[in-house]
Amino acid sequence: MIISDHKFQEFINNVPFEKKVFLLHGTLNSKIWYFRKLLENKLVGPKALEQMKLVFIDRSLIHKDKNILINEIKTRSFFGDKKVIVVNDVTDKDSTFIKEILESFDPEDHYLILTGGYLNQNSKIRKLVETNLKSCSTGFYPSELNERDIKKQLEIYKINFSDSSAIKKLRDLSSIYDFLEFKQELKKLYLFKSFDKKPLTQEEIENVFSLEINSNEKKLFDFLLEKKENFIADFFSNYSGEIKNPNSFVLNATNQFVVLHRMFTTEDKSYSFLKKIWPPILGKNREKFIKNMKLWRKSSIEEALFILRETELKIRNNSKLSAKRIISFAFLNICLLNN
């Protein structure tokens, strides 16, 4: 069975009982990761890893001993519930063990999710999965979103639209941006339009959509979370000219505080959500956020978010004022919170 990528979300919402093996393949790694996570959550719940209902097996280990995978598929989970086994980066070299798995699969066996890169239509794995009643395959390859998809996304975020040029602009951007980056930019667009019910314009899209945060901006946001007002003052005094995209600049700063606020309010003090957001916050960046929590209270973070929201509105409503001056003043005010 083949599920087209634009119908996969609908498929996940109502997975047929007989489907036990899922192959997600393609060149859009972030899209494969995103839909794999949705499928995992649907099959075994959002806390499956903690409950030992989600198992990852390296394909190299399977080649050494295929019984490792067979045993996981057929052995009951610790709590007696269904579990999901994930094998990433499969290729046609793995077709032998996949064929054996499919031929021996019983209705009571656990779920198996396979992910792979580019697989052409003559791929052995694809043929095995797509012709078996117990399995299905979905490919994720580059393509711009169509008009219907764009409008659906805007409706989800409750953004009003009427201008066809705005829809076309979003379609063009969807072909440039990585899948998860595009979703992240739509969230920024939602924040930008949350208090504005006027139809979306192409100019607003260009103001909000941005390239990734450059290294200098990243340092500035680090200074902000670390409350280093002297470094912030130096940054703006040495910043030549005006900020090209002030709205996106402020929204990027807002996202930093949204993450910090969630760290304060979550019950999961391992902060596992940090590796699930886009872009993921891992390693040294994760440690920085944890360290910076000591400098803030939940109430002061909420005050910072309010200041940033007011800053965004001030920039939008006062085009004659210097955006750089407005932002620098706001950032320095945020540094004084909680002091």
CATH number at residue 253: 1.20.272.10
CATH of the domain at 44: 3.40.50.300
Q: What are the phi and psi torsion angles at 272 (to 5°)? A: -65, -20
Q: How many whole angstroms separate alpha carbon 324 and alpha carbon 239?
A: 9
**Residue 296 · residue 260 · CB < 8 Å:** yes
Are 92 and 25 part of one and the same domain?
yes
* Nearest to 151, CA basis, from 138, 137, 162: 162
Which amino acid would we find at residue 65?
Answer: D
Are 152 and 44 part of one and the same domain?
no
**pLDDT at residue 176, as a whole number:** 61
**Residue 114 · residue 23 · CB < 8 Å:** yes
> Is residue 212 pLDDT above 60, yes or no?
no
Are 267 and 316 part of one and the same domain?
yes
Half-sphere exposure at residue 312, Cβ-oriented, CA atoms within 13 angstroms? 25
Which amino acid would we find at residue 287?
Answer: E
Are 193 and 284 part of one and the same domain?
no
Are 170 and 261 part of one and the same domain?
no
**Residue 330 · residue 308 · CB < 8 Å:** yes
Q: Binning pLDDT at 50, 70 and 90, where does residue 211 land?
A: very low
Q: How many whole angstroms separate alpha carbon 283 and alpha carbon 209?
A: 27
Are 72 and 96 part of one and the same domain?
yes
Are 153 and 255 part of one and the same domain?
no
Strand partners, 111: 84
> Is residue 49 pLDDT above 70, yes or no?
yes
Distance of CA 247 to the CA centre of its chain: 21
Q: How many whole angstroms separate alpha carbon 45 and alpha carbon 149?
A: 27
Residue-wise pLDDT tens digits, 247-260: 778 888 888 999 99
Q: Give residue 338's region: left, alpha or beta (phi > 0; psi -120 to 50).
A: left
Task: Tell me the angle at which helices 179-193 and 164-176 cross, rounded to the nearest 10 degrees.
Answer: 140
**pLDDT at residue 78, as a whole number:** 65
**pLDDT at residue 177, as a whole number:** 66
Are 19 and 72 part of one and the same domain?
yes
> Is residue 161 pLDDT above 70, yes or no?
yes
User: Which one of 157, 177, 208 terminates a domain?
Assistant: 208
Q: Binning pLDDT at 50, 70 and 90, where does residue 127 land?
A: very high
Are 127 and 170 part of one and the same domain?
no
User: Which one of 86, 120, 140 terminates a domain?
Assistant: 140
Give the chain's domain count: 3
> Is residue 36 pLDDT above 60, yes or no?
yes
Q: How far apart are the first and last CA of the chain?
A: 61
What tokens were used for 307? 């200041």
Q: Binning pLDDT at 50, 70 and 90, where does residue 225 land?
A: very high
Proportion of the chain above pLDDT 90, given as a percent: 32
Are 132 and 165 part of one and the same domain?
no
Which amino acid would we find at residue 53?
Answer: K
What tokens were used for 75? 């052995």
Residue-wise pLDDT tens digits, 281-337: 878 888 889 999 999 999 999 999 999 989 988 887 776 778 888 999 999 999 999
Tell me which long-range contacts 320-328 makes (C-beta under 8 A, separation of at least 24). Answer: 322/242, 323/242, 323/243, 323/246, 323/249, 324/236, 324/239, 324/242, 324/243, 324/246, 326/246, 327/236, 327/243, 327/246, 327/249, 327/250, 328/232, 328/233, 328/236
**pLDDT at residue 339, as a whole number:** 59
**pLDDT at residue 148, as a whole number:** 85
Q: 4, exposed or middle or buried, with CB in 10 Å at 0-12, 13-18, 19+?
A: exposed
User: Which one of 190, 208, 226 terminates a domain?
Assistant: 208
How many other β-carbons are positioned within 10 Å of the β-carbon of residue 154?
Answer: 20
Are 116 and 196 part of one and the same domain?
no
Over residues 17-34, mean pLDDT: 88
**Domain, as residue range, for 238:** 215-335
Are 309 and 290 part of one and the same domain?
yes
Q: How many whole angstroms separate alpha carbon 45 and alpha carbon 24?
A: 19
> Is residue 213 pLDDT above 60, yes or no?
no
Task: Give pTM, 2 decimals.
Answer: 0.54
Q: Binning pLDDT at 50, 70 and 90, where does residue 76 land?
A: confident
Task: Quote the Cα angle for 58-63-68, to 5°.
Answer: 65
**pLDDT at residue 334, as a whole number:** 95
Which amino acid would we find at residue 200?
Answer: L
